[in-house]
C-alpha cells in the first residue's frame, strides 16, 4: 500500500489541472486490462499526446503564459 | 580596448565539457549556480581578454552573479552567453553588457521550468519505470539500463545544447521564447508522463481483500467480485484517495504515511485484507 503515497506525491507535482488525473487512470487501466509493457504504453501515451496537441492547435487556441518556477 | 581574440571550436568544446561536469560546483543559496557559470566561461574569457585585465575582471564579475536553471536544457544559456561575450569583446556597441545579463536572466526561468518537467519530471521517471520493470525479479539489468540511458540522454543533451546555444547565439533566444512551441512540448510531455506513471503505479501498488463470506457450501470472496468489476480496482482507489488527501486536503506526507500504516494494520488485524 505504501507506494500509493509515493505516487500521490508525484501526481501532486505533475497534475496541473484536475482533469489530467483521467490520463493517470487511463494508463493504469490499460496496464492491468491489456497487460501491456511499459514500453508499449509509452507509444500509446505518445499517440494521446499528439492527438491532444493537434486538437488544441486546430482550435487556434491562444496560449496563456503559465507561472514558471525556478 | 585591446585586440580581442575569437574563440575556436575547441575553446567552446572545452567550456561545454566544463559545464557538463561542474555545473553544480560551489552551489550556494546566495548565487546558486553562479560560480559554476563563471568558471565555465573563465577559460574562454581569459583568451578573449588576453591583454585586457579590466575587461576580464568585468566579464568575470558579470558572470558569477546569481544564476539558477535546470542544468541539462539550461546548458544552452552558457553557450549563448559565451557567444554574446565574444561578440561583446569584439564590438561593445552591438552587444552591450546589459544585453548579456538580461539574456541570461530571462532565459534561466523558462528553461528551468521546461527542463524540470521534461527531464526530471518526465524522462527520468520513464527511464526509471522501464528499469524498475526490468528489475522486478531482482535482476540488476534495470539498474544498469537506467544508469546508461540516463547518462546517455543527459550528457548528449548538455553537450548538444551548449554547442547549439553557442551557434545560435541570439537566434536561440527567439526560438526558445516561442510560447506556442514551449506549450506544445510541455503539454505533450506532461500527458506522456502521466499515462506512463499510471501504468507504473498499476504494477507497483498492491492491495487485496482477504474477506470472504461462507454460507453453507458456497464461498463468496470479495476479491473475486472486485476483480470482476475491474482488475486491481482496489489499489487504484487507494492511490486516488491518497492523491486526493495530499493534493486537495493538503495532508502532509507524514500524516498520510501514518494514516496508511494505521489503516493497513487495522485491516490486517480485522482480517479484512
Write the pLDDT tens digit of every residue in A11-51.
776 677 888 889 889 988 988 888 777 767 878 888 998 89
Q: Are B23 and B159 in contact, with CB atoms under 8 Å apart?
A: no
User: For B187, which of A12, A37, A52 is closest by C-beta distance?
Assistant: A52
Inform me whether the C-beta atom of residue A46 falls under 8 Å from chain B C-beta atoms: yes
Inform me whether the C-beta atom of residue A49 falls under 8 Å from chain B C-beta atoms: yes
Inform me whether the C-beta atom of residue A47 falls under 8 Å from chain B C-beta atoms: no
What is d(CA B192, CA B198) in angstroms, rounded to the nearest whole number? 10
pLDDT for the residue numbered A67? 41
Residue B192 to residues A42, A49, A53, B187, B260: CA-CA distances in angstroms? 7, 6, 12, 9, 29
- The ipTM assigned to this model is 0.81
Smallest Cα–Cα separation from B72: which of B165, B162, B172, B190?
B162
Smallest Cα–Cα separation from B222: which of B240, B204, B209?
B209
pLDDT for the residue numbered A31? 84
Is B191 within 8 Å of A49 when comparing Cβ atoms? yes
Smallest Cα–Cα separation from B195: which of A56, A39, A53, A4?
A39
**Chain A contacts in chain B segment 150-189 (CB below 8 A):** 179-180, 183-184, 187-189
Smallest Cα–Cα separation from A4: which of B145, B234, B128?
B234
**Chain A contacts in chain B segment 4-63 (CB below 8 A):** none
* Chain A nearest C-alpha distance from B10 (Å): 32
What is d(CA A20, CA A18) in angstroms, rounded to the nearest whole number? 5
pLDDT for the residue numbered A69? 37
Q: Which residues of B touch A29 (CB under 8 A)?
A: 198, 202, 230
pLDDT for the residue numbered B262? 92
What is d(CA B211, CA B214) in angstroms, rounded to the nearest whole number? 10
Please indicate whether residue B12 or residue A8 has the higher confidence score (pLDDT). Answer: B12
Residue B46 to residues B40, B57, B161, B222: CA-CA distances in angstroms? 11, 10, 23, 74
Size of interface A-B (CB pairs under 8 A): 171
Q: Are B48 and B59 in contact, with CB atoms under 8 Å apart?
A: yes
Residue B85 to residues A14, B105, B160, B167, B172: CA-CA distances in angstroms? 37, 15, 20, 13, 15
Is B256 within 8 Å of A8 when comparing Cβ atoms? yes
* Chain A nearest C-alpha distance from B181 (Å): 10
CA B43 to centroid of chain Cα atoms:
28
User: For A26, which of B125, B198, B238 is closest by C-beta distance?
Assistant: B198
What is d(CA A36, CA B69) in angstroms, rounded to the nearest whole number? 37
Scanning B70-123, the segments in alpha helix (DSSP H) are 76-90, 97-115
**Chain B contacts in chain A segment 23-42 (CB below 8 A):** 23-33, 36-39, 41-42
pLDDT for the residue numbered A70? 36
What is d(CA A42, CA B188) in angstroms, rounded to the nearest whole number? 12
Q: Are B59 and B85 in contact, with CB atoms under 8 Å apart?
A: yes
C-alpha cell read off for B131 = 528499469
Half-sphere exposure (Cβ direction) of B160: Cα atoms closer than 13 Å: 8
User: For A37, which of B121, B133, B205 is closest by C-beta distance?
Assistant: B133
Q: Which residues of A touch B268 (CB under 8 A)?
A: none
Please indicate whether residue B227 or residue A60 has the higher confidence score (pLDDT). Answer: B227
C-alpha cell read off for B100 = 548579456
C-alpha cell read off for B126 = 520513464
**Chain A contacts in chain B segment 188-207 (CB below 8 A):** 188-207
Is B69 within 8 Å of A70 when comparing Cβ atoms? yes
Residue B23 to residues B75, B81, B262: CA-CA distances in angstroms? 9, 15, 44
Inform me whether the C-beta atom of residue B90 falls under 8 Å from chain A C-beta atoms: no
pLDDT for the residue numbered B70? 84
Which 3 state secondary structure label does DSSP give B5? coil
Per-residue pLDDT 10s for chain B (273 aa) are 444 567 788 888 999 999 998 988 887 765 678 889 899 999 888 888 888 888 898 888 888 877 778 888 889 889 988 888 887 787 776 666 766 776 776 666 667 767 777 888 888 888 988 898 888 888 889 899 999 999 999 999 999 999 888 887 756 544 545 667 657 766 776 787 788 778 777 877 888 888 888 877 888 888 888 888 888 888 899 889 988 998 888 888 788 889 988 998 998 898 887
Amino acid at each position: 500500500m505504501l507506494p500509493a503515497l509515493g505516487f500521490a506525491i508525484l501526481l501532486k507535482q505533475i497534475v496541473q489541472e484536475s482533469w489530467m488525473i483521467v490520463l493517470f487512470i487511463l494508463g493504469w487501466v490499460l496496464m492491468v486490462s491489456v497487460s501491456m509493457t511499459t514500453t508499449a504504453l509509452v507509444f500509446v501515451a505518445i499517440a494521446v499526446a499528439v492527438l491532444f496537441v493537434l486538437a488544441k492547435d486546430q482550435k487556434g487556441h491562444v496560449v496563456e503564459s503559465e507561472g514558471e518556477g525556478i | 580596448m585591446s585586440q580581442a581574440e575569437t574563440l575556436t571550436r575547441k575553446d567552446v568544446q572545452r567550456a561545454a565539457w566544463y559545464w557538463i561536469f561542474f555545473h553544480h560546483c560551489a552551489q550556494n543559496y546566495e548565487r546558486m549556480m553562479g560560480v559554476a557559470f563563471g568558471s565555465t566561461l573563465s577559460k574562454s574569457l581569459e583568451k578573449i581578454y588576453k591583454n585586457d585585465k579590466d575587461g576580464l575582471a568585468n566579464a568575470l564579475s558579470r558572470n558569477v552573479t546569481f544564476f539558477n536553471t535546470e542544468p541539462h536544457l539550461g546548458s544552452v544559456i552558457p553557450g549563448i552567453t559565451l557567444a554574446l561575450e565574444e561578440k561583446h569583446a569584439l564590438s561593445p556597441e552591438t552587444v552591450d553588457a546589459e544585453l548579456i545579463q538580461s539574456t541570461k536572466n530571462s532565459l534561466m526561468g523558462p528553461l528551468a521550468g521546461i527542463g524540470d518537467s521534461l527531464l526530471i519530471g518526465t524522462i527520468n521517471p520513464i527511464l526509471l519505470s522501464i528499469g524498475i520493470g526490468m528489475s522486478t525479479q531482482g535482476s540488476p539489468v534495470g539498474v544498469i539500463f537506467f544508469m546508461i540511458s540516463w547518462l546517455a540522454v543527459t550528457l548528449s543533451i548538455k553537450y548538444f545544447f551548449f554547442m547549439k546555444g553557442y551557434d545560435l547565439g541570439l537566434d536561440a533566444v527567439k526560438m526558445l521564447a516561442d510560447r506556442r512551441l514551449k506549450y506544445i512540448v510541455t503539454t505533450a510531455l506532461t500527458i506522456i508522463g502521466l499515462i506512463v506513471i499510471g501504468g507504473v503505479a498499476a504494477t507497483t501498488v498492491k492491495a487485496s481483500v482477504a474477506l470472504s463470506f461462507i454460507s453453507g457450501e458456497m464461498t463468496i470472496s470479495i476479491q473475486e467480485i472486485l476483480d470482476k468489476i475491474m482488475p486491481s480496482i482496489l489499489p487504484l482507489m487507494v492511490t486516488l484517495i491518497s492523491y486526493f488527501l495530499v493534493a486537495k486536503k493538503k495532508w502532509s506526507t507524514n500524516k498520510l504515511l501514518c494514516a496508511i500504516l494505521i489503516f493497513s494494520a487495522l485491516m490486517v488485524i480485522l482480517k479484512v485484507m
